[in-house]
């Protein structure tokens, strides 16, 4: 898929109300995006699919929703205050900054020198690139009315720390035994130096993270288990297998907390990039919180199988990034009966609207029947749209672009035999189904 296709996906996302630029009427806020009516549903469906697989379908993972703001010592203990930094190179002439590792890798097609003519950083005769310097990626703010150093707090750059500091609270209240996990879905914030590629890298984003606490010595085994489970999840969601791959971190790529780590990568139109990370964080985080808080976080096995500080295997996915993968992977342009159509082939589970109901004509009582059907579907908790504007062909196209899997048409025959036509977005096949059976028919396929 070309970069050009990426532009078309971005334009579709805006046109259909998936994603808007934040504060657009003020000229936009850099690298923050607002999810519109379809986008918020898509993102929620991604998070729900994750929650259902990680929490509801298992006995060994509990949910948690920790605060975004935490005690500032958390970030000293976690190493984010000292270690969560990117080395940046600044041009003294134009003041633009680039990540040093991106400069080395030469991956700067979109982020070259801002001066004209457009060249690579340092390419003009009078460019003055400085030495790499470290910048912390955490957003700082103040707790309470007084802006002073004592009240500095940070917006969390990952949800994981909330799970570590609550490890014993969750373990004891849920009476879980190691191995078990804590899952969270929530916002994280990073003052990214080179955000971009639409919603791929943003400064405010949602994470779906799970921390799995295991007995030391079993961590490598669990790391492999979660690596395979997470890849399976993406594939089962319908993401094409040949667009997914593992990338193991070399020693220079490892985060400060990781013993081993790998990314599940997706081939975006702008290249192979991380979609999700799986990390063996050892007992780094728990040991540090124990040291900095002075509170023991040792696990005592209720069946007498020892006491120890667990190791942690983490799975960490960006929800917006997974939504972007669903958009990119599902986007198709094709020709049907001599006409071009754009389709978002989203997994029906992820589709924002599951069914659209159309009256064939705006008369003979067909709109009333269609409205009734829409409301029945909604009562059955199936998000359903209603559209009576324009030809049936145009209505199909509108829904194809939104990723709606099924369109239901109420026509003249409906009045005679209470049946409707359901048209499938991908196969284009049409079947006749009884009015009262539509909700069940859709539920079965979800
Ligand atoms: N707790 C570990 C952790 O945060 P990470 O690899 O830095 O690990 C996990 O982030 C996932 O969060 C990434 O794989 C990506 O999907 C998502 N993510 C990270 N930074 C992001 C950003 N600036 N914008 C959007 N998603 C991001």
To test the pocket of ligand 1, the residue of 316, 317, 322, 328 to mutate (highest count of ligand atoms within 8 Å of its CB) is 316
pLDDT digits (tens, 9 = 90+) for 296-328: 999 999 889 899 999 999 999 999 999 999 999
Contact 9, 314 (CB under 8 A): no
Q: With a 6 A CB cut-off, is 367 part of the ligand 1 pocket?
A: no
Q: Which residues pair with 221 in a beta bridge?
A: none
Q: How far apart are CA 85 and CA 194, in angstroms?
A: 13
Q: With a 6 A CB cut-off, is 265 part of the ligand 1 pocket?
A: no
The domains of the chain, with CATH numbers, are: 3-78+140-327 (3.30.930.10), 85-136 (no CATH), 353-445 (3.40.50.800)
Per DSSP, the three-state class of 172 is helix
Buried b (16+ CB within 10 A) or exposed e, 247-278: eeeeeeeeeebbbbbbbbbbbbbbeebbbbbb
Closest by alpha carbon to 353, among 229, 446, 224?
446
Q: How far apart are CA 343 and CA 321, in angstroms?
A: 20
Buried b (16+ CB within 10 A) or exposed e, 165-198: bbbeebbeeeebebbbbbbbbbebbbbbbbbebb
Task: Report CA(79)–ligand 1 centroid distance (Å).
Answer: 16
Task: Report CA(233)–ligand 1 centroid distance (Å).
Answer: 18
Task: Say what angle helices 319-330 and 37-51 make with each other, to 10 degrees.
Answer: 110
Nearest CA to ligand 1 atom 2: 316
Q: In tens digits, what is the pLDDT along the chain, a chain of 446 residues?
A: 666 889 999 999 999 999 999 999 999 998 899 999 999 999 999 999 999 999 999 999 999 999 999 999 999 999 998 876 777 887 878 777 777 877 877 655 445 677 777 778 888 888 888 888 777 889 999 998 887 777 899 999 999 999 999 999 999 999 999 999 999 999 999 998 777 899 999 999 999 999 999 999 999 999 999 999 999 999 999 999 999 999 999 887 888 788 999 999 999 999 999 999 999 999 999 999 999 999 999 999 988 989 999 999 999 999 999 999 999 999 999 998 888 999 999 999 999 999 999 999 998 999 999 999 999 999 999 999 999 999 999 999 999 999 999 999 999 999 999 999 999 999 999 999 999 999 999 999 99
Per DSSP, the three-state class of 431 is strand
Task: Report CA(160)–ligand 1 centroid distance (Å).
Answer: 11
Q: How far apart are CA 401 and CA 130, in angstroms?
A: 47
Q: With a 6 A CB cut-off, is 162 part of the ligand 1 pocket?
A: no
Closest by alpha carbon to 349, among 317, 316, 322, 388?
322
To test the pocket of ligand 1, the residue of 318, 322, 323, 326 to mutate (highest count of ligand atoms within 8 Å of its CB) is 318
Task: Say what angle helices 319-330 and 3-15 make with each other, to 10 degrees.
Answer: 110
- Closest ligand 1 atom number to CA of residue 276: 14
- Closest ligand 1 atom number to CA of residue 160: 1
Contact 328, 6 (CB under 8 A): yes
**Angle of CA points 84, 191, 289, to nearest 5°:** 35
Nearest CA to ligand 1 atom 15: 318
- Closest ligand 1 atom number to CA of residue 201: 24
């Amino acid at each position: 898929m070309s970069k050009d296709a990426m532009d078309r996906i971005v334009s579709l996302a805006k046109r259909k109300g998936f994603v808007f630029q934040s504060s657009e009427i003020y000229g936009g806020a850099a690298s923050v995006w607002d999810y519109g009516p379809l986008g918020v549903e898509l993102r929620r469906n991604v998070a729900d699919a994750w929650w259902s697989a990680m929490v509801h379908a298992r006995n060994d993972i509990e949910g948690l929703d920790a605060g975004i703001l935490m005690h500032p010592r958390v970030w000293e203990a976690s190493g984010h205050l000292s270690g969560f930094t990117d080395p940046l190179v600044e041009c003294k002439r134009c003041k633009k900054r680039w990540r040093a590792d991106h400069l080395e890798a030469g991956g700067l097609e979109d982020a070259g020198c801002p001066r004209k003519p457009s060249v690579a950083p340092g390419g003009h005769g009078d460019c003055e690139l400085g030495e790499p310097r470290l910048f912390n990626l955490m957003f700082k703010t103040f707790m309470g009315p007084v802006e002073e150093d004592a009240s500095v707090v940070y917006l969390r750059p990952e949800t994981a720390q909330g799970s570590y500091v609550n490890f014993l609270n969750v373990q004891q209240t849920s009476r879980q035994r190691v191995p078990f996990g804590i899952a969270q879905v929530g916002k994280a914030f990073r003052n990214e130096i080179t955000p971009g590629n639409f919603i791929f890298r943003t400064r405010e984003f949602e994470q779906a993270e799970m921390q799995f606490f295991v007995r030391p010595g079993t961590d490598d085994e669990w790391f492999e288990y979660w690596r395979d489970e997470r890849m399976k999840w993406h594939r089962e969601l319908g993401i094409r297998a040949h667009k997914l791959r593992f990338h193991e971190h070399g020693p220079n790529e490892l985060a400060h907390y990781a013993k081993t780590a790998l990314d599940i990568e997706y081939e975006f139109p702008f290249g192979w990039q991380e979609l999700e990370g799986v990390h063996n964080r050892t007992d780094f985080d728990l040991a540090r919180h124990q040291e900095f808080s002075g509170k023991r976080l040792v696990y005592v096995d209720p069946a007498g199988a020892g006491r120890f500080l667990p190791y942690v295997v983490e799975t960490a996915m960006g929800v917006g990034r997974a939504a972007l993968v669903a958009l990119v992977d599902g986007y198709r342009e094709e020709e049907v009966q001599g006409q071009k159509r754009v389709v978002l082939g989203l997994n029906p589970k992820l589709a924002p609207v599951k069914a659209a109901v159309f009256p064939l004509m705006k008369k003979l009582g067909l709109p009333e029947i269609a409205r009734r059907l829409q409301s029945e579907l909604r009562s059955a908790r199936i998000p359903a749209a209603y559209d009576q504007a324009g030809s049936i062909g145009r209505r199909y196209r509108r829904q194809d672009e939104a990723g709606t899997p099924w369109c239901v048409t109420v026509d003249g025959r409906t009045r005679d035999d209470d049946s409707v036509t359901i048209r499938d977005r991908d196969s284009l096949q049409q079947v006749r189904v009884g009015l009262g059976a539509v909700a069940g028919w859709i539920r079965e396929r979800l």
